[in-house]
Structure 1
Amino acid sequence: MPGRSDAEFLIGRPLPRTVRERVRAEPVAVEHIEAVLELTTLVQGPREALVAAEVDFRDVATAAQTEWACERAEQRLREEFPMIRRVCLDPTPGCAQRRSEGLNPWP
């Protein structure tokens, strides 16, 4: 990330807010992904970061479509942000689905 100070990428900290916003937008551009519900980013080294996200998939997406959507989202993230080395996407029901099932949307 040109023009950034090294202090912004200290180990153990989240990526800068502007980068996190861009990271959050990438998976949503993938077919079958509706929203990123929760996002965690963690700088693990000078040029290494982890992304973990709870992701809401289309309710009618098949297991195979969900798996391939995860693969495409990970690929997009790594292409756009070469420092992202690890991506963990957790399929999570969105608020509307949780309400329809009688579950608290924010446990």
Structure 2
Amino acid sequence: MDLAEKMIKLSGFVPYEQIDIKVIGLRPGEKLFEELLNDKAKTLQTHHKKIMRAKDQVLCMEEVNDFVIDIAAAAEQQNNTLVVKKLKELIPEFLSQNSIYEELDKDVKIRT
């Protein structure tokens, strides 16, 4: 809200009098924050106290290749739900926000 009010004032208008501000929620695909690490990633110290390194889980190329083949096949069939489901299997930390695919979040199997 502060940003909206400042932008209106900088434009020479009065918030809520000349221009109303409405909170309408997230749009499809919009996120409030960005995840930088997955759930299994570990952070390691560096020479600077505010800079960390991530040590992440590594997938073998065969496993990645299988996912790519499955996703490409689903895309070729124009099966959007299966494409998203496969992407969620590959990246289980990704959760849909304000999306028609939110229901698939419940079915995600975490890789070990």
TM-score (norm 1): 0.27
Structure with more relative contact order (C-alpha pairs < 8 Å, separation 6 or more): 1
